[in-house]
């Protein structure tokens, strides 16, 4: 199996400005993706995503790479504690937001799989887990944005 970039694309009925806030703000991230979150959405800023309970679940650290409101937000994650995340030791997640009619096309990609140097079995398991995860969470992003817009 080829482990290239994982990509998902959806259209949401909200402006790129609203969607940008939803993908880059901890307040919103924990409503559609993780159970808890912290984020400093500036280049070089750090954050974390908590899946499940902080003590017994998974806490994933990330470092923000690029911020270009309202069109781009990217970060690196899946790197060893204490390492500076760069190509070759981490995965790059990118949210590209493109105005499309009255809404926004959201393109989510996760790349860097080939460069990690992980054992094949570990790579395959992680790739499948992330692919299924994006397949689950990206539609939740769409639903959360719809509820957010309806409530405003």
Ranges assigned E (strand) in 23-148:
36-39, 46-51, 58-68, 72-77, 91-100, 103-111
Identify the three-state secondary structure at position 131. helix
Dump pLDDT digits (tens) for 47-100.
Answer: 999 999 989 999 999 999 999 999 999 999 999 999 999 999 999 999 999 999
pLDDT beyond 60 at 125: yes
Tell me the percentage of the chain whose pLDDT exceeds 70.
Answer: 99
pLDDT in tens, 87-118: 999 999 999 999 999 999 999 999 999 899 88
Nearest to 110 by CA among 1, 7, 33: 7
| Ordered structural domains, the chain, with CATH | 6-24+66-151 (3.30.530.20)
CB neighbour class for 101 (10 Å; exposed up to 12, middle 13-18, buried from 19): exposed
Q: Who contacts 17 (Cβ-Cβ below 8 Å, separation ≥6)?
A: 69, 70
For residues 39-43, give the mean pLDDT: 97
pLDDT interval class at 2 (50, 70, 90)? low
CA nearest neighbour of 141 among 44, 73, 67, 58 = 73
């Amino acid at each position: 199996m080829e482990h290239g970039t994982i990509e998902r694309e959806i259209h949401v009925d909200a402006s790129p400005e609203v969607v940008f806030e939803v993908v880059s703000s901890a307040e919103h991230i924990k409503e559609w993706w993780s159970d808890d979150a912290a984020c400093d959405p500036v280049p070089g800023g750090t954050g974390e995503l908590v899946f499940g309970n902080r003590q017994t679940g998974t806490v994933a650290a990330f470092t923000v790479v690029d911020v270009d409101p309202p069109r781009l937000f990217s970060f690196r994650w899946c790197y060893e504690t204490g390492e500076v995340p760069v190509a070759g030791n981490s995965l790059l997640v990118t949210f590209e937001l493109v105005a499309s009619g009255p809404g926004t096309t959201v393109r989510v990609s996760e790349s860097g799989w080939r460069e990690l140097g992980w054992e094949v079995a570990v790579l395959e398991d992680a790739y499948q887990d992330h692919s299924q995860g994006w397949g689950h969470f990206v539609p939740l992003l769409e639903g959360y944005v719809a509820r957010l817009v309806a409530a405003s």
